[in-house]
Structure formats: C-alpha cells, structure tokens
Amino acid sequence: MFGSVRARATLGATLVVAVALVAAGTAVLLSLRSNLIGEAGTQAERAARAVASELAARTPYDRLSGLDGEDRPVQILDEDGRLVAASEDLERITGTATTDVTPQSPKPDEDDASGDGSDDSDGSDESFAPGEIADETTFTNGSATVDGDTEDYRFAALEVETPDHGRLTVHAGAPLAAEHGAVRTALTVMLIGFPLLLVVVAAVTWLVTGRALRPVEGIRSEMAAITASEDLARRVPEPATHDEIARLARTTNETLAALEASVERQRRFVADASHELRSPIASLRTQLEVAAAHPELLDLDGAVEDTVRLQRLAADLLLLARLDAGERPADARVDLAALAGEEAAGRAGVTVDAEPAEVTGSRGQLGRVLANLLDNGGRHARERVTVTVRREGGWAVLGVADDGDGVAEADRERIFQRFVRLDAARSRDDGGAGLGLAIARDVAVRHGGTLTAGAAPTGGALFELRLPLAR
C-alpha cells in the first residue's frame, strides 16, 4: 500500500500533524497546569497572609477567621515546629512541615506572656519586628482530608513575627480540584479530538494528493499505451496548469517528439542505405553472373569499381553508426596545417595556405572530414580548390573553398543531411552516396566544433570547420 506516492504523502502528512499535535497538546497541558497551579498558589498565599495579619494583630487562635472554613486547611506552627492551631475538621494533611492535625498545648512562657509587645525571639533574624509579615512565601503540593473529603492542595508557607507568640509559620492550602478537572477535560478533548483531526488530515491529504497526481497517472497510462503500441506519434495529456506536473508532461512530449524524429531518421537511414547498397551489389552480381557464363565478357575494371564503391559505402555507414553510438574521439593533439598538407598532397588543383593550429581529437576522423570536403570541392570546382587554416581567438578555422557554382542559400543546411544530393551534384556525382558532408558535420560536432557552408570569394562554395584550439 505504501509503495505509492499518494500513500506515502498521506502517511507523512499525518505523522507530521500527529507529532505537531502531540507537541502542541503537551505544551498546552503544561501551560494550563502551570497557570492553574499558580492561581491556586495565589489563593493559598492570600489565605495565609490573611491569617498572618490576624496573628500580627494579636487575634487569639480560637478567633482566627481563617480556621473556621471547611475548604481551606490551615496550620500554624511555632518556632519549634509544633502545631499550635489548625483549621476545623482537619483530619489528615501531607505536604506541609508537619502531618499533625491536633494542636498542642502552648508552652508555659506563652501562657505567662505579658502582652506588652516585647519580642521574645532570640534575635536570630533582626530584620523581623513584632507584627511584621515575611515577604517571601514558599509553596508545596500535598493533600488534606477535611470533614471526610480528601483533595490535593497547593500550600503556601508564610512566617509572621507576633507580639504575643513569637515567630509563627502559617500553612494555608488552596484546592487543586479545578486544575485537575481542567487538565482532565483538556486531555479528554485532545484524546477525542486529535484522532478525529488526524483522520480529517489523512482524508484531505489523500484526496488532495490523488487530485494532484491524477495527471501523473494519465501520463503513466499513456506512456504505457505508447510502449505497447510503439506509436511514437501519440502524446501524453498536458494539464492546463503551470506546475511541475505540467512541465513534466511538456518535457515528456518533447522527448517523445525527439524520439519520433530519431526513429524516423533511423528508418530513412536504413531505407536509404538499403537503396544505396542495392545498386553496387546488383551491378557486381550481374557482372559476376555474366563472367560465369561468358568469361571473355568479364568487365574487371567495372567489378573493381563497384567493389570499391561498396567498400567506401560500408565504411561510411560503419563510421556513422559509431558516431550515432556516441563514440568519443581520441585526445591526441592534431596540427590542422600539417593534416591539410597531407590530405592535399597528390590532388590536382588543390592549394594550401595554412598556419599552425593544434586541436585535440582523433587524427583519423579529422582527416576523414578534410578528405570529404576536398572530394566534395573537387567534384564541383572548375579549376582549383583552396585550403586555408588560421587561428581566431581560441578557435582553429579550416576552410575549403572551390571556384564552382556554389550552394544556394536555401540548401546550405540540407546538404548536411544524410543521403541528400542536390540535383546539380547528382548529375556530376560518379558514385557518392550523399554521406560525406553528413559524416563531416557529425565528426565536427563530436569534437566540440561546427561545420558550416557559405559562399567563397571566388563565387563557389566555402566550407568552414571551427574547432577549439588545444590547451
């Protein structure tokens, strides 16, 4: 199930939202609990200060208003930690300085207190004066049972210096029931709401990703149909959007168009090659059959000529096949000036005007380019063919010009197509298959250069080969 992009996207989105919800829910619960505990602590401190204020005003223990409430446990401890007063109906308590709930009898010196406001403390804390209440409050958590009801409380401990009883510590509690209830309610809501929210997120993500990936499925199914039918003229549907899927569809169609054109070129190549091979093979066969029946009629020169033509055509086809297969040229350093001199030697009417210019590549393939250009120039020239080599910036430029009729501007690109022969060329062609210029351009491109056709100063054709200079 999770092998599809749709399922993985849904699972990923759901997991991300789940982690975010858990983190957010935990933060909310902790913040809520902290706020409610802080509120309970404020209430407990307010109750403790009320009792401390009454003690500072010399209110007797039995008249303290903070001890008669049933919902607020209060303890009053003396300096020795003895419980001297506690709220009514307090049955049990934890979390304070003592678990005693029954006040102990006061010490004799407290019964004999003169009540004149003198300070009976040992003077260990000179900052405290009779009737003064401490600013600092300490908080603890605990539980208490009041009149049979047990609850958790937040206790505040506060010291007060009384005129009659010395230093006392007041412990007052505020219930945490509201905090527990709010946290439980929030937790219940989260436990119910979060799964429902995750289901909604998963459903929405599933629907959205399904809608978004629907064009991809259309592209996939159409590509499968194209593969099954081998009909490269078909195209995948392009959604009317401007997103990545639309760009994928357009790129796929462009690839299909390029593949269709490549296959069509290959078909034409095979058809043309078959046609070109058929003529010399049929001619050679005819001559051999005639020679077998009548040896005296054997045209040996014609047979050799047809054999050479067939050999050249096979070599051209083999080279084109290697170039189409992406064969990388060698990394040898080749001097175009020296190569031009070698290829022009022995050719009538060919002159060379070259300066040294080294390039990197295959000497054999570059020599084949120059030979094809010289053969083409020789077939169309009236008297002479001129070869030039010069350096222009980072390029080596080799030019082959003839003084023939030239190439019409409309045909200057078409002549580089395979098996293309112009009418004028066909009438003068003595066996060429129309592959020489196609091979020359393919080799030039494989070497990182260009091969173009133009007009020569003498009015004929000018072919320029541009290759990057060797570093």
Residues 6+ apart with CB under 8 A from 337: 352, 354, 355, 356, 357, 389
Question: ∠ at Cα 272 (266, 277), nearest 5°?
Answer: 125
Nearest to 440 by CA among 416, 414, 458: 416
Tens digits of residue pLDDT in 212-227 = 888 888 888 888 998 8
Residue ranges of the domains in the chain? 1-228, 244-324, 332-468
Q: Are 223 and 236 in contact (CB under 8 A)?
A: yes
pLDDT more than 70, % of the chain: 91
The residue-averaged pLDDT of 443-470 equals 91
Is the pLDDT confidence value at 427 over 50?
no
Q: Which fold has domain 332-468?
A: Heat Shock Protein 90 (3.30.565)
Q: Give the C-alpha separation, 179 to 138, whole Å.
A: 19
Q: Give the C-alpha separation, 397 to 354, whole Å.
A: 10
Give the containing element (helix H, strand E) for 331.
none
Q: Check residue 130 and give its pLDDT.
A: 78
Residues in the chain: 471
Tens digits of residue pLDDT in 265-302 = 778 777 777 777 777 788 788 888 888 888 877 777 77
Is the pLDDT confidence value at 391 over 80?
yes
Higher pLDDT, 3 or 448: 448
Class of domain 244-324: mainly alpha
Q: Check residue 46 and give its pLDDT.
A: 92
Backbone angles phi, psi at 59, to 5 degrees: -75, 130
Q: Check residue 425 and give its pLDDT.
A: 45
Residues 6+ apart with CB under 8 A from 144: 73, 90, 92, 93, 94, 150, 151, 153, 173
Q: Which residue has the tokens 């053969």?
A: 375
